[in-house]
């Protein structure tokens, strides 16, 4: 086992919370893939058992039109994680490229990228996401684009800072002397070296992306009913809390909280793993 793998194993072994988060993330990915097949019934099927309490027949109860909440929670994992993964991958790829170019070339490219980031950061990010979705329409693809745009500045700043640190390194100078072009130096030699730092940022942003998608759905600008999505389920069930039907909000809310906590704790663990100051 090499030094990095030993350090990663030691960090995870020492941090039980990180191990729990890793197991939780694996569970979420499993549910996102196989959840619809594990559901008791179709998430869209209605019945006469309206607002039925949790039971052996309906583990999480039913909602206001008789749909099985357990089936909807499982199915919603694919929707929410799909939106979050898509948005984070888009923002990671675009932010890494823009930030690396700004850090490597400087000058007018750096100025243009910096102004773009400052323009995005000038708005409250969730409000900006609301405006984008409202302008483009509340489809799943537009939610992904809006979430990717508001996450873009984080990756641009990280990539730019890391490239600024490495662009005068000996391995970069050696690559330039060997006749490599600027784009090849960036994509082949620099980006692979800053990818671990970007992956830490991506893990931390996953929780925020899930919350953003659920928040948009909660206020009616996200996924459209009757599709199963955690934010929609919380919004639909909120009006029944007063009358005692607590299960309509509790279970989708717990699923949302569990997903966000798993990615946040995993991001903290990855930050410890990739931090060279913590390697023995």
Comparing CA positions, the residue from 242, 215, 247 lying closest to residue 230 is 215
pLDDT band at 3 (very low <50, low <70, confident <90, very high): low
Pull the structure tokens for residue 183.
Answer: 């784009």
Tens of pLDDT along 222-251?
888 888 899 999 999 988 888 889 999 999
- Decide which of 138 and 273 is more confident: 138
CATH 1.10.3720.10 fits 10-34+62-278, yes or no: yes
Name every residue whose Cβ is closer than 8 Å to that of residue 62 and which is 6 or more positions away in sequence: 47, 49, 50, 51, 52, 68, 69
pLDDT at res. 1: 46
Tens of pLDDT along 109-146?
999 999 999 999 999 999 999 999 999 988 899 999 99
Share of the chain above pLDDT 70, in %: 91
Name every residue whose Cβ is closer than 8 Å to that of residue 245 and which is 6 or more positions away in sequence: 51, 53, 61, 237
Q: Rounded mean pLDDT of the chain?
A: 87
Query: Tokens 């390697």 identify what position?
Result: 279
The CA distances from residue 175 to 65, 165, 193, 212, in Å, are: 64, 16, 14, 41
Tens of pLDDT along 192-229?
888 888 888 888 889 899 999 999 999 888 888 888 89
Share of the chain above pLDDT 90, in %: 42
What DSSP letter does each residue of 189-210 carry, written as one string? IIHHHHHHHHHHHHHHHHHHHH
Pull the structure tokens for residue 25.
Answer: 């993330």
Name every residue whose Cβ is closer than 8 Å to that of residue 32 and which is 6 or more positions away in sequence: 77, 78, 81, 82
pLDDT at res. 195: 84
pLDDT at res. 81: 93
Helix or strand run (H / E) with residue 241: none
Tens of pLDDT along 43-86?
888 888 899 999 988 889 999 899 999 999 999 999 999 999 99
How far is it, in rounded angstroms, from Cα 249 to Cα 54? 12
């Amino acid at each position: 086992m090499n030094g990095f793998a030993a350090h990663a194993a030691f960090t995870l072994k020492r941090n039980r919370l990180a191990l729990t988060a890793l197991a939780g993330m694996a569970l979420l990915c499993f549910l996102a893939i196989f959840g619809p097949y594990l559901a008791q019934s179709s998430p869209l099927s209605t019945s006469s058992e309206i607002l039925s309490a949790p039971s052996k027949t309906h583990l999480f109860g039913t909602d206001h039109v008789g749909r099985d909440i357990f089936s909807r929670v499982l199915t919603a994992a694919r929707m929410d994680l799909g939106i979050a993964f898509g948005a984070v991958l888009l923002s990671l790829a675009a932010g890494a490229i823009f930030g690396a170019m700004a850090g490597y070339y400087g000058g007018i490219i750096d100025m243009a990228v910096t102004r773009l980031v400052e323009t995005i950061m000038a708005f409250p990010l969730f409000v900006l996401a609301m405006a984008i979705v409202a302008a483009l329409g509340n489809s799943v693809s537009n939610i992904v684009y809006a979430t990717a745009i508001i996450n873009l500045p984080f990756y641009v700043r990280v990539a730019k800072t890391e490239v600024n640190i490495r662009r005068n390194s000996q391995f970069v100078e050696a690559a330039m002397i060997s006749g490599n072009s600027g784009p090849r130096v960036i994509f082949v030699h620099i980006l692979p070296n800053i990818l671990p730092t970007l992956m830490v940022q991506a893990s931390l942003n996953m929780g925020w992306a899930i919350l953003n998608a659920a928040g948009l759905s909660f206020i009616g600008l996200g996924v459209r009913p009757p599709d199963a999505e955690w934010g929609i389920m919380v919004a639909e069930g909120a009006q029944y809390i007063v009358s005692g039907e607590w299960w309509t909000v509790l279970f989708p809310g717990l699923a949302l909280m569990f997903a966000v906590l798993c990615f946040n704790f995993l991001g903290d663990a990855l930050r410890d793993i990739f931090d060279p100051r913590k390697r023995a």
